[in-house]
Structure 1
């Protein structure tokens, strides 16, 4: 992580660049998915099952979009940043910027376990709050497909740890949080990316009322803060990636149990709706 460097103009540039990188990574991934599906389905006339579409989405959104933009930023920053600073009249040269990744130490493993418990506890507390408020929340589109085809959930469970967690954390904690920390310091560097991360999930929700979806996204800030704090404390991107991945895998696993054993559970659709909105 880099040292703090603040001024009003630097703050504005950091906000625009950080939010642009986060949203841009997701948009790039979705654009590639759309283009690929158009070529395969419309152009070649292929019929792709839902499982194939989910795999394509994982590869392009979390793999190419999130992770690809993160690595591209690391590669291009030393070339582009000095030119932008010169154009804006900033003094000095850009500070060092990297995303450290290492096998977690015993202390960091403890942080992974504690962070996972906090994030999952926040999800369950949020689901209870949504039930008490009786608001109409949307569901994550991938999870909604999984409710219709449980085979998708069996893909999403390992993918959460292998692709989703690492890809999204590289972009939102490694790049977005790291970029904002340069200007705003550690506290705001965790708070702002967490709000951005949760807010961008609005576009992944299907259905629900505006109020209900805002409540769900507000609750999602909780786990995002856990991911951000874990990265700030450890400076090891593997730690929040593991917390995020295991957290998502747990939710998808619980959803699979609910769907697979729906005939043995009371009112399964309502019992899972609040949790789905937190993905």
Structure 2
């Protein structure tokens, strides 16, 4: 299933600039909108008798923020069609190879980023899920584990790789589109560290952002190679599952 094909005319300089600004706008609207949703829910909680549980803020506010990502992508597609390769089907053995290779590549990149961060200093790099899990780690990580696979990863891949990367590809080509999208993917995770109470100027936070951007680059490359949003959503979900699973094991 694909959205209607966009025009195939060679883009002018003006159109390329407009495409870039559109991508920046989508990244900003999704990121700041998600931040406002989580912050707004945290302020609403005590007013409606839900207390000040940060775990609840994460689960409900974070869930609504993820839905906001989906709403931004769907709204834009109604305004400006973008070709998206959903490829909704049962994965094949070939898909399994891409999934395992992508997972291994992202894990290696993440480990290298951690080594570099440790060489140049650490600093706080606590994200919203880690901060929320302090109240009830087993429950929070268990819910997050399921929500990540079925909800968070597919929606983020739809917006970033499907909509934003797909739009950029029309004007800039594959590599530039992947690069811009992956940088934006990393930057849009900064609010997560802000909610987690991290020092946003620390080496730890920016090391994490670079690692996430590198992960986004690998996902973007694999999306172009496989033409399958399903495949990269599975890889994305499994990468997060590894991290969540390790955090869960650490508290058991």
TM-score, reference length from structure 1: 0.78
Question: 1:158 deviation in Å?
Answer: 1.4
1:27 to 25, 29, 32: 32
Structure 2 residues not aligned, in runs of 5+: none
Q: Do 1:18 and 1:176's aligned partners in 2 also have CA atoms closer than 8 Å?
A: yes
Q: Deviations over 1:90-146 (max 9, x none)?
A: xxxxxx633424123332232112111111221122222222222324221222222
Report the count of equivalent residues.
Answer: 241
Aligned counterpart, 1:123: 110
2:80 to 66, 77, 87: 77
Question: 1:170 deviation in Å?
Answer: 0.8
* Distance change >3 Å, CA 175–CA 12, structure 1 → 2: same
Q: Do 1:4 and 1:185's aligned partners in 2 also have CA atoms closer than 8 Å?
A: no
Structure 1 residues not aligned, in runs of 5+: 79-95, 261-279
Asked which structure has the greater CA Rg, the reply is: 1
2:64 to 60, 66, 82: 60
Question: 1:28 deviation in Å?
Answer: 2.7
Question: 1:175 deviation in Å?
Answer: 0.8
Q: Deviations over 1:15-67 (max 9, x none)?
A: 1111211221233333334444444422x2332644432221332111x2111
Where in structure 2 are the equivalents of 1:1-279 lying within 5 Å?
3=8, 5-42=10-47, 44-47=48-51, 49-62=53-66, 64-77=67-80, 97-103=83-89, 104-150=91-137, 151-205=139-193, 206-208=197-199, 210-212=201-203, 213-260=205-252
TM-score, reference length from structure 2: 0.85
Q: Deviations over 1:141-190 (max 9, x none)?
A: 22222245312112111111111101111111111101110100011111
**Structure-2 separation of matches of 1:194 and 1:32:** 23
Larger deviation, residues 198-207 vs 97-106? 97-106
